[in-house]
Amino acid sequence: MSQESREQRRANVIEVLNKARAMELHAIAQYMNQHYNLDNMDYGDMAAKVKLIAIDEMRHAEMFAERIAELGGEPVAEPAGTAEKGQLVRVVFSFDANLEDFTIDTYNEFLLVCRENADSTSVKLFEQIIDEEQVHFNYFDNVSAHIDQLGETYLAQIAGTPSTTGLQTRGFVARFGSGGAPAAAPGAGAAPGRPAG
């Protein structure tokens, strides 16, 4: 292939990586806003988990930026959209499930662009991040279903729970694993229903 076609292929990959980074920046703003609001509404456990998911998205944004820089591009700093503010707890989790579902679909399309442009490293990056976004979707979708089915009974069980995530910033996937259940820290067991660390 010619030098020009290699440069064009690289530009195509950088374009989708930057679109993905902008989506992550939007998700960070959205989830941090929700984290603060859920904490203010006294749904501490939910607030803590949404904060951890925002930390995952921060890591994703950085991973995309590093790959863009490796390819000689300039990472974007503007989010793809603005955060929806003042959402009621009954709206938050279905909204977030839809956001994650859209992200997974879009990232799968971006992955195909990377594959078509012969960038296996970026394909692997998208595969890893898609897997983590699926974990986020599963959590949001499960909570949304519980709220829909159990309503105030479910929310009453969470009201008044602590929102602390500690000083660790491992994020939701690192802390709870792919199934959403607490993952044991290396060399330590996790108490049932409680995250390690």
* Residue 13 to residue 115: CA distance in whole angstroms: 9
Q: Which fold has domain 3-160?
A: Ferritin (1.20.1260)
Q: Is the pLDDT of residue 4 over 80?
A: no
Q: Is the pLDDT of residue 181 over 60?
A: no
Q: Which residue has the higher pLDDT, 149 or 167?
A: 149
Confidence of residue 8 (pLDDT cuts 50, 70, 90): very high
pLDDT at 176: 77
Q: What are the domain boundaries of the chain?
A: 3-160
Q: Is the pLDDT of residue 38 over 70?
A: yes
* Residue 92 to residue 79: CA distance in whole angstroms: 19
* Residue 144 to residue 139: CA distance in whole angstroms: 9
User: Cα 32 to the chain's mean position, in Å?
Assistant: 11
CB 28 within 8 A of CB 89: no
Range in 31-45, 81-95, 130-144, 174-188 with the lowest mean pLDDT = 174-188
